[in-house]
Amino acid sequence: MNYLRTVLALLSVMVFGTAQAQTARFLENVLVRKTDGVTTVQLRPNCRMRYIDHQPAGTGSELRLQVSTTSACSGGGNAAVNETFIQDGLRLANVTAIDIQSWRTGELYITLRFSEPSSFVVRQRAVGWIEIDVDTRVDPSTLAATRPPPLDTVDPAEPESNEASRLATLRARQQRLEDLRRTLVETSDEGNFVVQLGVFSDPGPVLSRLLSLKVADSAFSREIRINDDLWHGLHLGFFATETTAQNALMQLSGDFPDAFIRRIRSGDTEAAQSAALIAADTDLPVAVVASREAVTDADLLASLYENGRQAVLNRQHALAIAPLTELLEYPDHAWRADGRELLAVAFERNGQTDRAMAEYNALLLEVTDPIAMARIRARLDGLEARTLSETTERVSTRSVGLDAWTFDGGVSHYYWRNQEQLVEDGNYLVSSSGVVGLLNASARRNGERWSLLMRVNGSYQNNLVEFDERGDVGWVSAAFVEASDNVLGLRARLGRQNNRGFGVLDRFDGATVDWKFLPGFSAGLSLGLPVDSPRFIGDSSRQFIAARVAAEELLDSTTSVSLFAHQQTANGLLDRQAIGGEVLYRDGDYSVFGLLDYDASYAVLNTALVNLNWRFRNGWTLTSRLQAGARPYLTTRNALAGQAAVSLEQLGDSYTEGQIRRLARDRTAENRSFAMGLSIPLGDRMDLSADITINNTDATVASGGVAQIPATGTELFAIASLVTTNVLGAIDLFRVSTQYQQSDWRTSTHMILDGRFAIGRRLRLTTGLRVESHERTVSGEEQRVLAPSIRLQYRVSRTLFDLEIGGRWSDRDLPPFELNPFVDDGSELTYGGYINAGYRLEF
Amino acid sequence: MRWLGILVFLAITACAASNNSPFVSTVDDQTGQSVVYAKSPLTFVANRPNLSQVGKDYLVISPLRASIQGTSRNYLFFALGSTIDRALMDASVPSVRSIILRVDGQLMSFETTKWSALSRQAPFSVDLLVHEMLVAEFTQSEMALITRADSLSAWLLDDNDRSPEYRLLGGDHKQWDQF
């Protein structure tokens, strides 16, 4: 019998739905069953209860049951009860929660809170259960949101004397609950609902479609700007509830399958209403329709047409409207299309844009000539764009910072010292030591029309070792001023800069001008003096001029293309004469970049490169690069390699121009390389990446007293890294990396272990260990290296203090032909170390 | 009797299966506020190569129902976390003006409020250094699109409307239709 009872209970759970764990003290279970739109909520008490009353009678947004309980229900404990019962299945009955409250023994209030006004019936079953039938088929908008009176007024009874303090606590808690509940209500705006039809880069055609659908609601557009992309979110509204919005959504689902309902805040509603593209509750203008009897009097129709036409020609547009309207009220005549077009023009020029658009839309249905249709569409597009721009300007509340200077940059100083020592020798050999100061700064001002940018990147190094022949040196890698005219689309940059997009190979001192002459199209000119190193200033012995045209946002904004021509001279000789271009294609998860650089004077391909970047849905990223061309880039100055002469002018003393160009060609090898990388996220906090590069460079040709540089053969580089974060702390980081390099000359393997730990908020400790193994193929020499390091970084406000110390132990097996008087067993042991100490101040 | 035992076993198995809800419900003992959220929230990730090679910014999203005294509201809960060491670089955490979800071809924008306006306690634990918790109310229509979506990504727009794209890393939004 017990078995049978258990089975019946379990089966009832299966039939009626889920009964979750949060059963309140007075309720053993709450079961929910839905049949034909009526949901039954069955309250099963833990103790004996008797239904007394309920409020309100049959409909409302809350239902309060008053029941009496036996003393067994209180369990001998406190009579005051305030419990909440929540269960997912209750949503079938539109019930969000059930509150159980009691202020004295024997009386209990059970309140069902509905998500929307509902119709219900309450009854008590003989077994003691209380059942509430909720009819979910009834439209909630037709029901009153009646609530029972507040519980305090229902039960004003004095607390029982022995529970005064407990009840006071309970009431304080009740107040806290009320406060929280109020917060919940206040933070959820009472807002309206709108239907978002979609987001469009050009909403004009959609607006036309909406006009033709004659929707009864307001339509408005909201800008969604993400980085440099601008979208127009087109909405219909406004609806008091999601249910009413659902009706509009269903009517439009055929035309806008991705439409959905969203909330809009009340403040936004007012702004949107005032700027509606299509106003609700107003008569939409409609085109003139035939409403008179057909006439056979051709003179009458011709007269009406001619009167209207003459008025338009005389720019008396208001006068043209009446005869042309009358003309169109007559059906079936030869002047209808021409007359309607004239009427649309009259409306347009008379400032009645809506009526003009209505006539143009009607005209599109009447004409069949494709040229006329194109003409009408163009006019319609123009009117819609004008309407839209006026509206979106009003809707947009985004302010653009004008005439504000912004500065950023930093300055730093570092001391470093590297030294190494033979273990057997005992004398230190200082390799290098110095102090380097670096400065980078930029100032930017964005104006409504003019924008200015100034940037400088430079450094200065004091060498602290006597044998360094370079002495103290300075670099300037960038120093330019850039001005932009945002109205004309002009941009000019003057100073030291890079500009690979123009085919300029080196950093240069000069000027660049770009002109965006059409949206998405630009042309530019660049000229200047190339510099080999940022340590030097440009000299007039080398000069270049380059031009470029570029088109962006082609093929649905997926493709950009640029072409360049570049010519450079050195000491009066043609140094480089190249043409080429770049293509970038981006489509969702992958992009392809192509680059071509061809020297027309040498008829040599300097570079042909294709880069692929593909991000897969599972988070994997594949990168690939295929490159072929000259190494180094072929310029006539390549002829100086291996020669005693330092300029082409000096080389010209020994060789003719033709011979110099031949030498340049001989110093330049052919190269091919292929690289592929894969990045794989492993879980949330771990990344595995692997890259492989295969490289092959041909031999150069011996000539002019310069020996051949042999071919490299096939070189292989491979690296794999496993990086994980958030292991010991949120920002800790660990990395294990291995590198493998193989060529005809040597094989090397590296293993690197890194770890970064946060010590408090300001201090970071980074430890590293590198283990290397090298084997030189020709000599058979082997070398093993162990290099640990430790780094401390401490930040105070905008200043970062940095200290890094590292060691290096090397064990090298000497080849038989290499003599070292301090080495007697053929193994050379060295150890060394380095220290970097400095600061960086950001501003 | 054997058949009765089998029947009981099947019934228990069915009950166990029925309890496999994709949502978790908790009640704050102090306030009585109950919160229902997804067991498997969505995790989005964005690389910040200018700040860190391996550190990333994260966005965790879950539907959440906050109920107190019968007043119940549905929210999308957003937890913004990071594994980037911004303190070392004196970089500030991103300020978020609005959150945009790309749901297949649609863009959904959410005007958010701080979760702290509703509760002083985090609704659930996120295995991250979380620097911001936000909520935004959603409609059933939005939830229906999200649960059906084959492709999801997000942007956390700052005051200049700029953000990297947060791509979906994990989570199961297909089960959210039961919310």
Helix (H) or strand (E) holding A547: strand A542-553
Helices (H), ranges, A201-314: 204-213, 242-252, 266-274, 298-313
Burial A600-630 (b: 16+ CB within 10 A, else e): eebebbbbbbebbbebeeebebebebebbbb
| Amino acid at position A243, single letter | T
DSSP A706: B
Chain B positions touching A688 (Cβ under 8 A) are: none
**Residue A158 CA from chain centroid, whole number:** 61
CA-based nearest distance A13→chain B, Å: 8
Beta-carbon contacts of residue A382 (< 8 Å; ≥ 6 apart): none
The span from the CA of A628 to the CA of A611, in Å, is 12
Bridge partners of residue A784, in order along the sequence: A773, A811
CA-based nearest distance A258→chain B, Å: 7
pLDDT score recorded for residue A266: 59
Dihedral in degrees, nearest 10, Cα atoms A236, A240, A244, A249: 20
Chain A positions touching B127 (Cβ under 8 A) are: 684, 726
pLDDT score recorded for residue A186: 43
Question: Quick check: B84 and A735 CB within 8 A?
Answer: no
pLDDT score recorded for residue A735: 92
CA dist A217 → A89, A100, A266 (Å):
36, 44, 17
Helix (H, G, I), strand (E, B) or coil at B110: strand
pLDDT score recorded for residue A17: 39
Q: Please say whether the dihedral angle defined by the alpha carbons of residues A70, A72, A73 and A76, taken in this order, is positive or negative.
A: positive
The shortest CB-CB distance from B141 to any of A7, A261, A758 is to: A261
pLDDT score recorded for residue A397: 35
| Amino acid at position A539, single letter | D
Instruction: Residue window 716-745, chain A: list those with CB within 8 Å of chain B.
Output: 723, 725-726, 730-731, 733, 735
Question: Quick check: B85 and A193 CB within 8 A?
Answer: no
Instruction: Residue window 76-95, chain A: list those with CB within 8 Å of chain B.
Output: 82, 84, 86, 88
Helix (H, G, I), strand (E, B) or coil at A333: coil
Helix axes A336-349, A353-366, angle to 10 degrees: 160
The shortest CB-CB distance from A730 to any of B14, B128, B157 is to: B128
The span from the CA of A314 to the CA of A319, in Å, is 10
Angle CA(B101)–CA(B107)–CA(B112) in degrees, nearest 5? 50
Using the Cβ of A793 and the Cβ atoms of chain B, whether some distance falls under 8 Å is answered with: yes
Taking CA–CA distances from B23, the nearest residue in chain A reads: A88
Q: Do B22 and B41 contact (CB within 8 A), yes or no?
A: no
Helix (H, G, I), strand (E, B) or coil at A222: strand
Please give the full DSSP string across A96-107, using - where no structure is assigned.
EEEEEEESSTTE
pLDDT score recorded for residue A392: 40
Q: Do A176 and A248 contact (CB within 8 A), yes or no?
A: no
Beta-carbon contacts of residue A718 (< 8 Å; ≥ 6 apart): A690, A691, A692, A693, A739, A740, A741
Ramachandran region, residue A349 (left: φ > 0; alpha: ψ -120 to 50; beta: rest):
alpha
Using 70 as the pLDDT threshold, list the residues of chain A that sit under it. Answer: 1-25, 70-80, 103-104, 125-128, 150-191, 204, 208-209, 211-217, 266-287, 289-291, 365, 368, 370, 384-403, 426, 428, 430, 467-469, 730, 822
Question: Quick check: A20 and B23 CB within 8 A?
Answer: no
pLDDT score recorded for residue A271: 56
CA-closest candidate to residue B111, choices A269, A202, A257, A245: A269
pLDDT score recorded for residue A25: 64
Question: Quick check: A198 and B106 CB within 8 A?
Answer: yes
Beta-carbon contacts of residue A728 (< 8 Å; ≥ 6 apart): A757
CA-closest candidate to residue A756, choices B46, B93, B83: B83
**Backbone torsions φ then ψ of B76, nearest 5 degrees:** -95, 125
Q: Do A527 and A544 contact (CB within 8 A), yes or no?
A: yes
Tokens standing for residue A660: 């110099």
pLDDT score recorded for residue A214: 58
Q: Which of A11, A32, A64, A84 is the mutation pick for testing B, counting most B CBs within 10 A?
A: A84
Using the Cβ of A22 and the Cβ atoms of chain B, whether some distance falls under 8 Å is answered with: yes
Tokens standing for residue A319: 């006068």
Q: Supply the Cα-derived Rg of chain B in whole angstroms.
A: 19
Tokens standing for residue A408: 């950023």
Q: Which residue is it, tokens 């230190």?
A: A428
The span from the CA of A541 to the CA of A205, in Å, is 58
Q: Do A354 and A362 contact (CB within 8 A), yes or no?
A: no
Give me the interface pTM, i.e. the ipTM. Answer: 0.84
pLDDT score recorded for residue A386: 66
pLDDT score recorded for residue A491: 95
pLDDT score recorded for residue A399: 37
Chain A positions touching B81 (Cβ under 8 A) are: 730
Using 50 as the pLDDT threshold, list the residues of chain B that sit under it. Answer: 15-17
Q: Which residue is it, tokens 């030097």?
A: A536
Helix (H, G, I), strand (E, B) or coil at A708: coil
CA-based nearest distance A215→chain B, Å: 20
Helices (H), ranges, A52-163: 71-74, 151-154
The span from the CA of A631 to the CA of A196, in Å, is 56
**Residue A441 CA from chain centroid, whole number:** 27
Q: Supply the Cα-derived Rg of chain A in whole angstroms.
A: 41
CA-closest candidate to residue A812, choices A430, A422, A429: A422
CA-closest candidate to residue A606, choices A639, A622, A628: A628
Q: What number of other Cβ atoms are within 10 A of residue A812's Cβ?
A: 20
The shortest CB-CB distance from A260 to any of B34, B36, B141 is to: B141
**Residue A829 CA from chain centroid, whole number:** 53
The shortest CB-CB distance from B139 to any of A88, A193, A764 is to: A193
